[in-house]
């Protein structure tokens, strides 16, 4: 098998990493499994002819070995505040594209801040937040905006039936809260702001069958990094259904459990994106199942498009800047039902 079909997956044995490995196999790629835990890597390769390479972010040589002979790397190992930088460095040394599934706002900001110029100079492609949070919302906002190059507001409302967070999600959340000193985040006036305002709720008019639901306002996710990285917009707001927000904040909420042979949970989602400009409004909607599982086809489709030359920009680029958003979303019809403006 040539290197063009070999894709390294760092954090392959994690909850999302396992979905990424399965998606790569389904798409005819050969995943090269990597991570710091040799026992968990060995367990994943039992009965399968897959290459497993132990690597840690504090050992650059081990990362170089992990990426040797691969065409791209997908980083599925959080917290990304710790892993993104070292794995991007290794990808740049190897001369291969980098994609991650980071939902951490600060980690994604770091990627744009510290690596964009270097990646552009090297002609490299780095796509952060290529996942349910950050990537999907950005694709929907880009598809909704269409020929608009600027907008007055972008709103991304997450209608989750519930949220059973993984251990990795909880750790990443702790890291982000520590970095921002417990403050909350918003994107207003064309920039990230940190604040101590009280949490507020409002009703959001989701499309049927979900309908109007209470949401936590300014439940800020990675879309506030990805969307304004290429769309000129002063306000980006994200919202979360109140039930899902309560699930996430409750320490007793269990991790997701598999409801079918693919490992997907029963959780469903509806992402409702509204873009407004000069009194006009455009909307894009996506429906699907399991926020962690759907991150895998998003990341693998991104890798496939980069490797086949279907990419619009180089450097550090978000999903909306890198790809033809409507075409990308429609390519995921097996995983997402989307409604886009004509």
DSSP for residue 271? E
Q: Tokens 């290197």 — which residue?
A: 3
| CATH code (residue 57) | 3.40.50.720
205 and 73 assigned to the same domain: no
137 and 55 assigned to the same domain: no
42 and 81 assigned to the same domain: yes
256 and 210 assigned to the same domain: yes
103 and 144 assigned to the same domain: no
Spell out the residues 6+ positions from residue 246 whose beta carbon is closer than 8 angstroms to its own.
none
120 and 152 assigned to the same domain: no
User: Per-residue confidence of the chain (342 residues) as pLDDT tens digits?
Assistant: 456 799 999 999 999 999 999 999 999 999 999 999 999 999 999 988 899 999 999 999 999 999 999 999 999 999 999 999 999 999 999 999 999 999 999 999 999 999 999 999 999 999 999 999 999 999 999 999 999 999 999 999 999 999 999 999 999 999 999 999 999 999 999 999 999 999 999 999 999 989 999 999 999 999 999 999 999 999 999 999 999 999 999 999 999 999 999 999 999 999 999 999 999 999 999 999 999 999 999 999 999 999 999 999 999 999 999 999 999 999 999 999 999 998
276 and 225 assigned to the same domain: yes
CA angle 114, 116, 121 (to 5 degrees): 120
284 and 322 assigned to the same domain: no
Structural domain count of the chain: 2
156 and 265 assigned to the same domain: yes
142 and 271 assigned to the same domain: yes
CA 335 – CA 330 distance, rounded (Å):
10
| CATH code (residue 262) | 3.30.360.10
- Cβ-defined contacts of 208-216 (< 8 Å, 24+): 210/159, 210/270, 213/159, 213/241, 213/242, 214/241, 214/242, 215/157, 215/158, 215/239, 215/240, 215/241, 215/242, 216/240, 216/241, 216/242, 216/245
187: domain range? 132-290+334-339
Helix (H, G, I), strand (E, B) or coil at 4: helix
């Amino acid at each position: 098998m040539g290197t063009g079909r070999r894709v390294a997956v760092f954090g392959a044995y994690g909850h999302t990493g396992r979905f990424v490995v399965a998606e790569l196999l389904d798409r005819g790629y050969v995943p090269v499994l990597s991570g710091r835990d040799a026992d968990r890597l060995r367990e994943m390769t039992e009965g399968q002819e897959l290459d497993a390479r132990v690597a840690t972010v504090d050992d650059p040589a081990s990362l170089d070995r992990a990426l040797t002979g691969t065409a791209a790397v997908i980083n599925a190992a959080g917290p990304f505040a710790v892993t993104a930088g070292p794995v991007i460095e290794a990808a740049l040394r190897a001369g291969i594209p980098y994609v991650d599934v980071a939902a951490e706002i600060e980690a994604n900001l770091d990627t744009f801040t510290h690596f964009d110029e270097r990646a552009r100079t090297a002609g490299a492609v780095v796509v952060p937040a290529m996942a349910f949070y950050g990537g999907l919302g950005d694709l929907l906002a880009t598809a909704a905006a269409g020929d608009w190059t600027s907008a007055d507001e972008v709103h991304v409302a997450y209608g989750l039936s519930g949220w059973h967070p993984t251990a990795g999600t909880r750790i990443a959340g702790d890291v982000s809260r520590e970095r921002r000193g417990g403050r909350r985040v918003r994107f207003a006036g064309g920039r990230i702001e940190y604040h101590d305002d009280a949490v507020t709720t409002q009703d959001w008019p989701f499309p049927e069958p979900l309908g109007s639901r209470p949401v936590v306002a300014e439940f800020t996710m990675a879309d506030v990094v990805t969307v304004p990285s290429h769309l000129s917009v002063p306000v980006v707001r994200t919202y979360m259904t109140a039930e899902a927000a309560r699930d996430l904040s409750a320490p007793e909420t269990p991790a997701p459990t598999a409801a079918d042979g693919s490992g997907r949970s029963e959780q469903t989602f509806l992402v409702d994106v509204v873009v407004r400009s000069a009194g006009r409004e455009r909307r894009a909607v996506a429906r699907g199942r399991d926020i962690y599982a759907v991150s895998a086809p998003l990341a693998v489709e991104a890798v496939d498009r980069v490797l086949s030359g279907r990419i619009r920009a180089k450097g550090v680029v978000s999903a909306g800047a890198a790809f033809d958003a409507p075409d990308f979303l429609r390519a995921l019809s097996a995983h997402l039902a989307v409604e886009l403006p004509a």
